[in-house]
Structure formats: C-alpha cells, structure tokens
Chain A
Amino acid sequence: AQKITQTQPGMFVQEKEAVTLDCTYDTSDQSYGLFWYKQPSSGEMIFLIYQGSYDEQNATEGRYSLNFQKARKSANLVISASQLGDSAMYFCAMREINTGNQFYFGTGTSLTVIP
C-alpha cells in the first residue's frame, strides 16, 4: 500500500484565491511527522510546513496551513491568497519515527496559478 497518496495530479487556482491540496497517509506508527514541500520549475525542494502526529493544533506558516485530520489520516495543504509564484509541484511526505525514520513522498500535485 502507498504510504502517501496525492490524488490530484494537477490543480488550477485563480490568483488571490485559496486552494487545498489533498494528501492522505497510511501508517501503523503512532509517532510520525507530516511535511509539505514545494518544487518550482528550477528543481530545488523547499520545505513549507510540518505537523507532528501528537500536535493538536493545525500547523500554520504564513500563507500555508496544514489541515490535519488524524482519524481520516489526511494532511491537506491550504494555500491562502495564491500568488503567481506559487505555481510549482507540491509534495506531501511522512516520516515514521519508530520504524526507520525514513521519509516517504507522494507523487505530487502540480499547481498552476492563473492571473
């Protein structure tokens, strides 16, 4: 089974609007971390936001927030007030703390912001 599933290969959003990128995960580990990364066309991987499995509040970093629903095993990324520079690939990732500390990545969502 896939550890991380991103079901939206491509998304479009109007500039200044909000967009939600979906991510579900699968783990039996009680301790894990969830991360989102942005990969612009230049190729580098940029860390955006982190949520720990024991964190009760949703993580926020500027215009990014992580909608964490533990029972549903989902960790959706919400980008508010989209900007043209947000056009990129977005990857969801999970780190299982008690089973190897590896990072597992989803297949990514390509976001295009329309002016």
Chain B
Amino acid sequence: NAGVTQTPKFRILKIGQSMTLQCTQDMNHNYMYWYRQDPGMGLKLIYYSVGAGITDKGEVPNGYNVSRSTTEDFPLRLELAAPSQTSVYFCASSGNRGGNTIYFGEGSWLTVV
C-alpha cells in the first residue's frame, strides 16, 4: 500500500537552478496538495488541485508551478531556485468527502545554496 509517494527525498540545489518534485498517489483521490514546512513552523499551502486538469494557487505560490495531467500525478516545479525556498515539501492527497483525512508523502528536504 504505497499511498502518496514523492521523490526525491533530499536535494541540494544551487541558486538559479530549477527542479521538479514528483508526487504520485494510488488512492484515486481527486484532491492533491503541495505544502512547504519551514523549520519549526506549520504547513503552508503552495498549490492544490481538485482534479485532473485543474490547479489553484494556495498561500505561497510564487516561485513554483504545478500541473495535473492525470489523477495520480501532481509534480511541483521550482523555477530559478532561491535560498528562501529551502524547506521541507510535502505532497498530500485526500478524498472528496469532508470527513476524508489528508494523506501525506514522506516529505522532500530541499536546500538551496
């Protein structure tokens, strides 16, 4: 039972580089999310999607892009990495019903130097 799988787990980027964090879920969930968690802080929503082909900005979308071509996959692209993007990134998914909890991937630790 894979749940939500995100890769890579760790990555060091140089300022100005770009990269894609991959996320896939096998629970047939319509809702998918990307959060970032800065050290000692809570989760901030970057982007979310309510289904294939539909994406929306969250609280902190600047510097990121997403796509949702399939139900399963929701990659997050970082363009022109900056030190402020050093964080732990969590991909998550949930079902449609209000009582459905959110399932998280294991997190991706990203450092921009």
Contacts and interface: CB of A to CB of B under 8 A. Distances in A.
A107 B42 contact: yes
Contacts of B104: 44-45
Contact of B31 (A33, A101, A108): A101
Interface stretch (B12-20, B43-51, B60-68, B78-86): B43-51
B101 interface: yes
Contacts, number: 53
A12 interface: no
A102 B101 CA distance: 11
A99 to B, nearest CB: 11
A102 B45 contact: yes
A103 B107 contact: no
A93 B102 contact: yes
B90 interface: yes
Contacts of A64: none
B98 A52 contact: yes
Interface in B68-113: 88, 90, 92, 94, 96, 98-99, 101-104, 106-107
Contact of A102 (B42, B48, B106): B48
A33 B99 contact: yes
Interface string B26-68: 0000010101000001110100101000001010000000000
Contacts of B45: 102-104
A105 B35 CA distance: 10
Contacts of B42: 91, 105-108
Residue among A35, A45, A100 with max Cβ neighbours from chain B (10 Å): A45
B99 A103 contact: no
A111 to B, nearest CB: 14
A45 to B, nearest CB: 4
Contacts of B99: 33, 50, 52
Contacts of A47: 101-103
Nearest to B98: A97
Given A101-B94, A105-B42, A108-B41, 11 more contacts: A33-B98, A33-B99, A43-B88, A43-B106, A91-B43, A93-B102, A95-B102, A101-B31, A101-B96, A103-B92, A107-B41
